[in-house]
């Protein structure tokens, strides 16, 4: 007898439990065998027991960076397709996610069809439209602050010194969503 094909495994890592539940159900309907985690520690435990073929990872997991998981998963299995999601999209984190091995980087809110399309994308797109609107000064500042922060391993004190900014001022700016 022919056995039905095995469902591809998918790991969702996001600290928003409601989002995980909704996305898990939607991806199960699309044929994935879904598991999820809400912290880096629990995600690493799941990865050790079953390496996923696909992963959806949030960039900001409480006070930790989902980039840690992208790096770990790609080191263990370079074939895993990873989509990084974030509500705090920036050029710096997008570049780092792709350098570490993410297949794609999507800004929230995102729909399941966008995620499915991102999993399928294996090459760049020379036809992607170029925006006619340059970044605002506020957005450029936000991008610059996050780039310096990333270069300093997310150390707020060091970043504040480099930016010649009070630590609390920097923390307030970091708490804001991108402009």
The C-alpha atoms of residue 9 and residue 32 are separated, in whole angstroms, by: 6
Give this prediction's pTM: 0.72
pLDDT at 124 over 70: no
In this structure, the answer to whether residues 21 and 97 fall within a common structural domain is yes
In this structure, the answer to whether residues 53 and 141 fall within a common structural domain is no
pLDDT at 157 over 70: yes
Q: Which residues pair with 54 in a beta bridge?
A: 10, 81
pLDDT at 73 over 90: yes
In this structure, the answer to whether residues 93 and 14 fall within a common structural domain is yes
In this structure, the answer to whether residues 94 and 39 fall within a common structural domain is yes
Query: How would residue 1 be classed by pLDDT, with cut points 50, 70 and 90?
Result: very low
In this structure, the answer to whether residues 102 and 37 fall within a common structural domain is yes
Q: Looking at 73, 91, 120, which one is the last position of a domain?
A: 120
At 42-63, the pLDDT tens digits run 999 999 888 999 999 998 888 7
Mean pLDDT across the stretch 123-142?
68
Q: Looking at the domain assignment, is residue 141 inside a domain?
A: yes
The C-alpha atoms of residue 64 and residue 104 are separated, in whole angstroms, by: 20
In this structure, the answer to whether residues 142 and 111 fall within a common structural domain is no
In this structure, the answer to whether residues 16 and 104 fall within a common structural domain is yes
In this structure, the answer to whether residues 25 and 57 fall within a common structural domain is yes
pLDDT of residue 135: 65
Nearest Cα to Cα of residue 114 among 102, 105, 101: 105
CATH of the domain at 154: 1.10.10.60
Mean pLDDT across the stretch 140-148?
79
In this structure, the answer to whether residues 113 and 142 fall within a common structural domain is no
pLDDT greater at residue 121 or residue 29? 29
Q: Looking at the domain assignment, is residue 151 inside a domain?
A: yes
Domain carrying residue 141: 137-175
pLDDT at 2 over 80: no
Q: Looking at the domain assignment, is residue 41 inside a domain?
A: yes
pLDDT of residue 148: 82
Burial class for 109, CB neighbours closer than 10 Å (0-12, 13-18, 19+) = exposed
pLDDT of residue 132: 65
Q: Looking at the domain assignment, is residue 4 inside a domain?
A: no
Mean pLDDT across the stretch 138-158?
81
Average pLDDT value over all residues in the chain: 84
pLDDT of residue 123: 66
Q: Looking at the domain assignment, is residue 87 inside a domain?
A: yes
CATH of the domain at 44: 3.40.50.2300
In this structure, the answer to whether residues 77 and 149 fall within a common structural domain is no
In this structure, the answer to whether residues 105 and 153 fall within a common structural domain is no
Q: Looking at the domain assignment, is residue 145 inside a domain?
A: yes
The total number of structural domains that make up the chain: 2
């Amino acid at each position: 007898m022919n056995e039905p094909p095995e469902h591809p495994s998918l790991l969702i890592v996001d600290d928003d439990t409601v989002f995980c539940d909704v996305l898990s159900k939607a991806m199960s309907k699309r044929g994935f065998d879904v598991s999820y985690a809400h912290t880096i520690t629990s995600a690493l435990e799941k990865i050790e027991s079953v390496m996923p073929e696909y992963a959806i990872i949030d960039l900001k997991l409480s006070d930790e960076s989902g980039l840690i998981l992208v790096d770990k998963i790609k080191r263990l299995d370079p074939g895993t397709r990873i989509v990084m999601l974030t509500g705090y999209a920036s050029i710096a984190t997008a570049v780092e996610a792709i350098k570490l091995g993410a297949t794609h980087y999507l800004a929230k809110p995102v729909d399941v069809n966008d995620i499915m399309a991102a999993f399928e994308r294996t090459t760049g797109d020379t036809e992607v439209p170029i925006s006619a609107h340059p970044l605002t000064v506020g957005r450029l500042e936000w991008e610059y602050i996050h780039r310096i922060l990333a270069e300093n391993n997310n150390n707020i004190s060091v970043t504040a010194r480099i930016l010649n900014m009070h630590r609390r001022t920097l923390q307030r700016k970091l708490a804001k969503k991108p402009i």
